[in-house]
Amino acid sequence: MTRQLGLRIGRWLKDRLLSSGRAVCELFYPRICTVCGESLMKGEVYLCTACLADFPFSDQAYAIQEDVLLNFDAAYRPEKLFSLFYYNKFSPYKNLIYRIKYRSHRSLGIYLGRLLGEKIKNECEADCIIPVPLHPKREKERGFNQAREIACGMAETIGVDIYDDVLFRVRNNASQTGKNASERLKNVEHIFELRNPAKITGKKVLLVDDVITTGATIGACLQVLAQAGNVRFSLGCLAQTV
């Protein structure tokens, strides 16, 4: 048996084993649509054709709502807000966010980040991407930072680097869920810290998070990042609440 023939047989066996493994996994754990729960057909990824057709895509880039703008000082007010879709608490598409954050679907975050990156790559002029950081304790508990997974997908399609060594969360504040606007603002005071500021001085920064509601967390990030001097900001998120 020649070496080339042996390699071909090896690849054939590997492909058959992988295919069999996938078939067994899908027999016991069938792939289902993240939104409606129906079984996915061949070629469908995360979303069935019907849910993808009804996907509530947001505008390409739109003016930030006035109530959100109130959280941003003129010194660090973002120029644009890019989002993939609109959602509210009654939308079945909110399950996408839930799956990423609380069911550890990291690959879903990357996939949706790619979709957002493709959607905005002709309008986004970022020099770098900075994901909103989690506190180390919370990231260890969750196993990952969902904002960074989204940022990874976006970075692939936009073609810029992710800076993980600039913005740090130094206080493990309580979750923003269930808090009103004023409580959210209070909850994010003094929770972020700027390091290596020279990396972003004079740069266009795209700050990325999973969801933007009142903008309190994002505002706290921008306030700290602006200390680097001469920084222009845009925001990117999967979902903008309406």
Do 235 and 116 have their domain in common? yes
> How would residue 88 be classed by pLDDT, with cut points 50, 70 and 90?
confident
Candidates 186, 34, 166; CA nearest to 109 is 34
Would 129 be classed as within a structural domain? yes
CATH code at position 91: 3.40.50.2020
pLDDT, tens only, 207-236 = 999 998 878 899 999 999 999 999 999 999
Q: Is 24 exposed, middle or buried (0-12, 13-18, 19+ CB in 10 A)?
A: exposed
> How would residue 8 be classed by pLDDT, with cut points 50, 70 and 90?
low
> How would residue 61 be classed by pLDDT, with cut points 50, 70 and 90?
low
Contact present, 164 and 148 (Cβ < 8 Å): yes
Would 1 be classed as within a structural domain? no
Do 35 and 105 have their domain in common? no
Percent of the chain predicted with pLDDT > 70? 81
Average pLDDT, the chain: 84
> How would residue 175 be classed by pLDDT, with cut points 50, 70 and 90?
confident
Do 118 and 33 have their domain in common? no
Do 218 and 151 have their domain in common? yes
Task: Answer yes or no: is pLDDT of 28 > 90.
Answer: no
> How would residue 201 be classed by pLDDT, with cut points 50, 70 and 90?
very high
pLDDT, tens only, 101-145 = 989 899 999 999 999 999 999 999 999 999 999 999 999 999 999
pLDDT of residue 159: 96
pTM of the model: 0.82
Alpha carbon distance 34, 40 (integer Å):
9
Do 73 and 148 have their domain in common? yes
Would 2 be classed as within a structural domain? no
**DSSP string computed for the chain:** --HHHHHHHHHHHHHHHHHHHHHHHHHHS--B-TTT-PBPPTT--SS-HHHHHT--BPPSSBPPPHHHHTTS-GGG--SEEEEEEEE-TT-TTHHHHHHHHHS--HHHHHHHHHHHHHHHTTT---SEEEEPPPPHHHHHHHSS-HHHHHHHHHHHHHT-EE--SSEEE-S-PPP-TT--HHHHHHHTTT-EEE--GGGTTT-EEEEEEEEESSSHHHHHHHHHHGGGSS-EEEEEEEEEE-
Do 105 and 185 have their domain in common? yes
Structural domain harbouring 22: 9-53
Would 31 be classed as within a structural domain? yes
Would 40 be classed as within a structural domain? yes
Tell me the CA distances in angstroms from 14 to 5, 19, 26, 29, 76, one per residue in order: 14, 9, 18, 22, 53
Would 93 be classed as within a structural domain? yes
Do 143 and 43 have their domain in common? no
Percent of the chain predicted with pLDDT > 90? 60
Q: Provide the domain count of the chain.
A: 2
> How would residue 74 be classed by pLDDT, with cut points 50, 70 and 90?
confident
Contact present, 21 and 48 (Cβ < 8 Å): no
User: Which one of 17, 32, 53 terminates a domain?
Assistant: 53
* Strand 161-162 to 128-131 pairing: parallel
Do 80 and 181 have their domain in common? yes
Would 192 be classed as within a structural domain? yes
Q: Is 241 exposed, middle or buried (0-12, 13-18, 19+ CB in 10 A)?
A: middle
Do 186 and 79 have their domain in common? yes
Do 133 and 79 have their domain in common? yes
Would 3 be classed as within a structural domain? no
> How would residue 18 be classed by pLDDT, with cut points 50, 70 and 90?
very low
* DSSP bridge partners of 233: 205
Do 230 and 154 have their domain in common? yes
Alpha carbon distance 214, 208 (integer Å):
15
Q: What is the mean pLDDT of residues 18-38?
A: 62
**What residue type is 217 in one-letter code?**
T
Do 61 and 45 have their domain in common? no
